[in-house]
Amino acid sequence: MSELRIEQLTSPDIARAVAGGMRTAVLPLGATEQHGAHLPLSVDSEHADRLGVLVAERLGDALVLPTVRLGCSAHHLGFAGTLSLRAETLEAICADCCASLAAHGFRRVLIFSAHIGNYPLLGGIEPKLAARLPRDLDVVAFADSAAVLQAWRDAAERVAGLGGRVGGHADIAESSIMLAVRPDAVRNDRAAAGFTGPMDDELLARVFTDGIKAIAPDGVLGDPRGMSSELGFACLDAVADLLAEYATSRYRPLT
């Protein structure tokens, strides 16, 4: 199929696809939150939109759900415009989407997030969903933020020798991804470095408890300078490969 996004297909299109073996769905999660002075609040959702299609293409038997464009962003509420869901709200959205898919014959769902703030929820969501959903629906949730950051660092180093500028938020990776998917939305002249220290587990915990503004007053973790669309496409491909490989390794065989 040339179109993999469920919202762009007709109901008969989807029924035929499922009957023909496309029984996997990809559920992308995003966010609406600040990304410094140079990027719009839509970064994570635009990113998730593109990643969802790339992952579905790699899986080969998958359709893509609409991105959930609000996420767990309480640590960004110190910045105007940020919207945040409670964890239980986002969990309920995921559960309801999966229940709908099961009713239409889907057997597998991959849930991923382009917003790292959703990862604590995703890290524990599989058993919660398993308790609420039909047993023959196999739900896999990806929640390895360290692997994503490493994929970005490797891509930034390979393409531009700038792996050290990856910090995880509005940095060279996310800024480059936006140049790849929405170049018109990037305010290049406003790009500036934010917090550039090491992003270890202790610091990440502080981001979630104290808010990102306590670490980076400008809302940037890393350095966006040196961004390029070439690097953005490399980051997208690297993470799409990571997600598809993870899902393939985790899915139970269809019976």
One-letter amino acid of 70:
L
Position 1 scores a pLDDT of 80
Residue 203: is its pLDDT beyond 90? Answer: no
Q: Which pairs from 123-128 meet CB under 8 Å and 24+ separation?
A: 125/91, 125/94, 128/91, 128/95
pLDDT tens digits, residue range 128-178? 999 999 999 999 999 999 999 999 999 999 999 999 999 999 999 999 999
Position 198 scores a pLDDT of 82
Q: Taking the model in full, what pTM does it have?
A: 0.96
d(CA 90, CA 45): 14
**8 Å CB contact between 148 and 239:** yes
Instruction: Say whether 95 sits in a helix, a strand or coil.
Output: helix
Query: What residues does 27 pair with on adjacent strands?
Result: 111
Position 202 scores a pLDDT of 85
Position 201 scores a pLDDT of 81
Q: How far apart are the first and last CA of the chain?
A: 23
Please tell me the CATH code under which domain 6-144+239-250 is placed.
3.40.50.10310
- Say how many residues make up the chain: 255
Structure-token pair, residue 194: 């934010």
Position 154 scores a pLDDT of 98
Mean pLDDT taken over the chain: 96
Position 156 scores a pLDDT of 97
With residue 31 as reference, give the H or E element that holds it: none
Write out 138-206 in H/E/C secondary structure. EEEECCCHHHHHHHHHHHHHHHHCCHHHEEEECCHHHHHHHHHHCHHHCCHHHCCCCECCCCCHHHHHH
Which ranges in the chain belong to alpha helices (H)?
11-19, 43-59, 87-103, 119-122, 125-132, 145-160, 172-181, 201-210, 212-215, 229-250
Kindly report the number of other CB atoms within 10 A of residue 5's CB atom.
16
21-49 average pLDDT score: 98
pLDDT tens digits, residue range 36-94? 999 999 999 999 999 999 999 999 999 999 999 999 999 999 999 999 999 999 999 99
CATH 3.40.50.10310 occupies which residues in the chain?
6-144+239-250
Residue 25: is its pLDDT beyond 90? Answer: yes
